[in-house]
Chains A and B, each alone.
Chain A
């Protein structure tokens, strides 16, 4: 679904390439987590996958990036918007302001895509239902809590039925309750198998629980790539300034103190930790 070949991107007026010679294949329906220290290029990767780099920020692209059959550098943002949906941190800024109700806000993208009215209604009803927003449908999107707004933002993108959903730290401004709501929804989207999900996230426990695969970025390069557990439990995660899940941390202490004898991969989820300590 996503295919990057020797893909590099440089922001205008910067010398260093923010993404450097990425080679990446992400299959349709896969849930791919992305981690990395600050400035590693995580957001830039999100922008590149959704076409904002280079079409919005300008700058220079080298190599090739494909989303399905669309060449990122050669397609317009309008074309890409139907294929790739981008959700970012600030929920408030993602509310378009062009519509006065949650229902209208979700329909806005579909209207821009020129979809027939009946289909708009059906799709909006579908996502309202799936994201548990039906009760809020006639409220103003500006009168909602942060978590609800982020749900509306995701719903607005989902209604456009993108084949790829890119989320750039979607819960960083939410409280634990809002965070859980959003992750439940991402899990549901991913499990439907129809959407390829790329999620940039600092909360490693969540990635460990849901992602099929985790990429680690460092200075614009992919330095690790593999199944969630083998990447997240790796000792390199500390060196790269990313840290590890609380389960790995506890297990490592326990191992040092001789409380557990297992020498395999550290646990990264609650389930794995429980199995280790039993």
Chain B
């Protein structure tokens, strides 16, 4: 569906869950990424929580692929930096006067694992949840309609913005603007390129606002929805449990840091 969305339209149990349940999973994974202290726990969260959920949602391969692609450079750079510069007892090898320690290496891997859990937790939500369904769920819980609109329209309008930027670039090139040039000259190009982009967008805003008014966007009173979200007692309990455990983890972490 619709080119620029991350969302993958699949038939799966995860896709059918209420958006807030999936949001709760993701927030829980973000809490895990921040609050779990040890590498082993972080990897356990990834293997026993994230992988089964992603597999259930039939999005396991994009999650792993993007996860690996993003995490590999982090693993390498963090391992090197932390391995050499975080002190420790156990020397693995040394280069000149620099000593690579096991403790440092593990510290580097822990940071990388945090990034992995947080990133794939966010991917899990975006791959399996339509943005409009998520926003609908949130507006039902009191998110202002205007804010939901901003999120949804930006997702769709941003790629058109890029198209327009490209068009302006070509138009200016056709008028003889030199774009293949050295860095300082390129900075000067920002004015003829972004000026028309911003001005034309401001002009559009007025028309777009009118179009929204023409569709009774500002009408007072209850709104209805074509989209139906199914919730269940089970899902509510799961959300409650995730919230409780998540808060518990945060409390533990804060306690640990204060000690």
Contacts and interface: CB of A to CB of B under 8 A. Distances in A.
B214 A157 contact: yes
Interface residues of A, number: 48
A97 interface: yes
A110 B222 CA distance: 11
B216 A78 contact: yes
Contacts of B213: 52, 56, 77, 81
Interface stretch (A99-107, A128-136, A226-234, A241-249): A99-107
A94 B207 CA distance: 8
Contact of A100 (B130, B208, B222): B130
Which one of A112, A117, A153, A156 has the greatest number of beta carbons of chain B within 10 Å?
A112
Contact of B5 (A93, A100, A139): A100
B225 interface: yes
A111 B152 contact: no
Interface string A83-122: 0011010101111111111011001111111111100110
B218 A160 contact: no
A124 B227 CA distance: 13
B233 interface: no
A106 B189 CA distance: 41
Interface residues of B, number: 37
Interface in A124-178: 124, 138-140, 142-143, 153, 156-157, 160
Interface in B211-231: 211-228
Contact of A97 (B2, B130, B153, B224): B153
Given A100-B1, A114-B221, A86 B214 contact: yes
A92 B228 CA distance: 27
A109 B216 contact: yes
A82 interface: yes
B178 interface: no
Contacts of B2: 100-101, 139-140, 142-143
B91 interface: no
B85 interface: no
B132 interface: yes
Contacts of B222: 114
A112 B219 contact: yes
B211 A111 contact: no
Given A98-B152, A111-B225, A116-B224, A56 B211 contact: no
Contact of B212 (A90, A96, A114): A96
Interface string B51-93: 0000000000000000000000000000000000000000000
B153 A93 contact: no
Interface string B156-193: 11001000000000000000000000000000000000
B226 A140 contact: no
B226 A117 contact: yes
B215 A93 contact: no
Which one of B149, B157, B208, B221 has the greatest number of beta carbons of chain A within 10 Å?
B208
Given A93-B208, A94-B211, A98-B153, A104 B228 contact: no
B219 A103 contact: no
A93 B225 contact: no
B216 A113 contact: yes
A50 interface: yes
Contacts of A86: 210, 214
B108 interface: no
Contacts of B219: 76-79, 81-82, 112-114
Interface in B186-211: 204, 207-211
B121 interface: no
Contact of B152 (A52, A92, A97, A153): A97
Interface in A43-93: 50, 52, 56, 76-79, 81-82, 85-86, 88, 90, 92-93
A56 B218 CA distance: 11
Nearest to B157: A97
Nearest to B159: A142
Contacts of B153: 96-98
A97 B156 contact: yes
A154 to B, nearest CB: 11
18 contacts: A56-B209, A56-B210, A77-B213, A77-B216, A81-B219, A82-B216, A82-B219, A86-B210, A86-B214, A93-B211, A96-B212, A97-B156, A98-B152, A99-B132, A109-B214, A113-B219, A114-B219, A142-B156
Interface of B: 1-3, 5, 130-132, 148-149, 152-153, 156-157, 160, 204, 207-228
The 8 closest A-B pairs by CB, nearest first: A78-B219, A97-B153, A109-B215, A81-B216, A140-B2, A107-B226, A112-B216, A93-B207
